Amino acid sequence: MARIELNHVTKRWGGFYAVDDLDLLIEDNAFVTLLGPSGCGKTTTLRMIAGLETPTTGRITIDDTVVFDSDAGINVPANKRRVGFLFQNYALWPNMTVYQNIAFGLSNIKEAGLSVSKEGEIVRNPSAGGAERKLTKEEIDRIVARVSAIVKIQPFMDRYPGELSGGQQQRVAIARTLAPGPRVLFMDEPLSNLDAKLRLEMRSELQRLHLSTGSTFVYVTHDQMEAMTLATRICLISNGVLQQYDEPLTVYNRPNNTFVADFVGNPAINFINAKGAQQADGSFSLKLLDQYDATFVPGEEVRVDDWFAKANAEIAAFAAKERPTEKTNKDEPFKYPVARVSDEGVRDETPGREDWVLGVRPEFVRISEDGPVEGEIFSAMPTGMETTVRIRVGNYLLTGVVFGGVLYKIGQKVRLSFEGAGTTLFSRENGRLIACGTLKIK
């Protein structure tokens, strides 16, 4: 139905860059989530595409229509972009009944070649010609009946929004958004006001809705779980800058940098600082957790010198970008958290070329009798299906997930190893991903 393209879109207030030079291509029929911590610019991005916010510079295209172009001075207002928008607080009109809320927008449609199918679907065929006309009362009834059936709110048609529960209000808002048949559906944290159980239910309904409407969905959330489960692609933003735009599992398995690695995944990834150098065979011999020698074997061929040259060139290009004003919200390397029992005596050192950081997902921390690393259980949180354990190794804490309801005693001695080929290696200097690979403790 619709394809959206953003070219060099920037939104700033004075020196504050809410969105910084964003390029994004949203394919037709995609379900894209804009993900990031609060205040990162994801809602601003969404509102700019919808036309509720005006970008400072850049160009936005929906299908083949340029809806915004700062160079040409084009700015198609939101009402002419034919998009749907689901607001975080639903924005239902409190003075209208559920029926009126849904029908109000429909009573305004005035187009040529308009017809409504028996099922209540709007069919637009402008090339068919004919005079512009409005929808009849009966047609509106049919459309309202269809959309209210989709979200199952038929019993409430005469109620006012104030008389509905949060979940019901949410459904009304969805019905209202769907009614005029928008080509794109924008959603701004639509589930954040619902309780946990309802959220799970609505999540699966949204997925069904995406399938049945065939519209393009753009979805803003700060909940990485929502993004992982719903999206066909995740667009991760931090400080107004695009961090990664990939399919959910790619984002999870091959995070572009330490920020992405930390933001996605629950429980969060383990960061382990390491020191060492690349060997002639391509592997890295490292010293980590104060006492262990290890080897990291990259899953793909990578030469550190070439890699640094390329990364530094990119960083320099980003810094050299022309800006009308200085960016006050500075782009600083992400300060990834390293879990320790005590932060006493930890100094902030400037990392050099010898410094690396390893990212180990909790599911790759394996507790086994013959593991090379020795530790003790710091805390254990069984949920029934799995158990999340924190293991103390020296002054460090590692998080692991053990499948099944295994009971651990706090203080119990365990041995562990790192398994699988999914360990990630980042440069400590710039936080970027160097390679995925296997970590072996000697």
Structure tokens that stand for 189 in this block: 């944290």
* Residue 79 is a binding residue for another protein (CB under 8 A): yes
Could you say whether residue 83 binds another protein (CB under 8 A)? yes
Taking CB under 8 A as the criterion, the residue among 38, 71, 196, 332 binding another protein is: 71
23, 37, 93, 335: which one binds another protein (CB under 8 A): 93
Residues 167, 202: contact at Cβ < 8 Å?
A: yes
Of the listed pieces 62-70, 210-218, 253-261, 344-352, which binds another protein according to CB under 8 A?
62-70
Site for another protein contains 89 (CB under 8 A): yes
User: Which one of 16, 23, 37, 74 is in contact with another protein (CB under 8 A)?
Assistant: 74
Q: If binding is defined by CB under 8 A, does position 85 make contact with another protein?
A: yes
Phi, psi of 79 (to 5 degrees): -70, -15
Q: Which residue has the tokens 């690393």?
A: 373
Interacting residue with another protein among 38, 64, 118, 345 (CB under 8 A):
64
Residue type, position 53, single letter: E
Can residue 78 be called a binding residue for another protein (CB under 8 A)?
yes
Nearest-approach distance from CB 143 to another protein, in angstroms:
13
Give the C-alpha distances (Å, rounded to integers) separating 128 from 43, 114, 122, 131. Answer: 38, 9, 14, 10
Shortest spacing between CB 186 and another protein, in angstroms: 8
Retrieve residue 384's tokens.
């029934």
Q: With binding defined as CB under 8 A, does residue 56 bind another protein?
A: no
DSSP-derived 3-state class of residue 354: coil
Site string for another protein, 105-124 (x = CB under 8 A): x--xx---------------
Q: Is 84 in the site for another protein (CB under 8 A)?
A: yes
Minimum distance between the CB of residue 422 and another protein, rounded to whole angstroms? 41
Pick left, alpha or beta for residue 435 (phi over 0 → left; psi -120 to 50 → alpha; otherwise beta).
Answer: beta
Residue placing its CB nearer to another protein in the complex, 96 or 441: 96
- 328 belongs to the binding site for another protein (CB under 8 A): no
Among the listed ranges 102-110, 114-122, 164-172, 220-228, the one in contact with another protein (CB under 8 A) is 102-110
Interface size with another protein, residues (CB under 8 A): 39
Task: Determine the interface stretch with another protein among 78-86, 117-125, 240-248, 348-356 (rule: CB under 8 A).
Answer: 78-86
User: What mask of x and - would describe binding to another protein in positions 173 to 192, judged by CB under 8 A?
Assistant: ---x---x------------
Output the smallest distance, CB 161 to another protein, in A.
11
Query: Based on CB atoms, which residue is closest to another protein, 43 or 278?
Result: 43
| Complex with another protein: residue 170 or 273, whichever CB lies closer | 170
Which of residues 58 and 359 has its CB atom nearest to another protein in the complex? 58
Instruction: Check residue 66 for interaction with another protein (CB under 8 A).
Output: yes
CA distance linking residue 334 with residue 253, whole number of Å: 19
Question: Which of 197, 243, 191, 196 lies closest to 222 in space, CA to CA?
Answer: 191
Q: Which of 29, 56, 61, 430 binds another protein (CB under 8 A)?
A: 61
Which of 85/245 has CB closer to another protein? 85
CB of residue 36 to another protein, shortest distance in Å: 20
Q: How far is CA 293 from CA 127, 286, 296, in A?
A: 71, 6, 10
Q: What are phi and psi of 288, to 5 degrees?
A: -140, 165
Q: Where on the phi/psi map is residue 118: left (φ > 0), alpha (ψ -120 to 50), or beta? A: alpha
Which of 11, 59, 210, 432: binder of another protein (CB under 8 A)? 59
DSSP secondary structure string for all residues of 233-288: EEEEEETTEEEEEE-HHHHHHS-SBHHHHHHSSSSPPEEEEEEEEE-TTS-EEEEE
Could you tell me the smallest distance in angstroms from the CB atom of residue 67 to another protein? 7
**Site membership for another protein, residue 76 (CB under 8 A):** yes
Cis preceding-peptide flag for 267 (omega within 30 of 0): yes
Task: Give me the helix-helix angle, 98-106 and 166-178, nearest 10°.
Answer: 20
DSSP-assigned letters across all residues of 186-234: EEESTTTTS-HHHHHHHHHHHHHHHHHH--EEEEEES-HHHHHHH-SEE
With beta carbons less than 8 A apart as the criterion, state whether 394 and 373 touch. Answer: no
CA-CA distance, 228 to 234, in Å (whole number)? 8
- Of 315, 337, 189, nearest in space to 241 by CA: 315
Q: Which residues bind another protein (CB under 8 A)?
A: 13, 50, 52, 59, 61, 64-67, 69, 71-80, 82-85, 87-89, 91-96, 104-105, 108-109, 176, 180
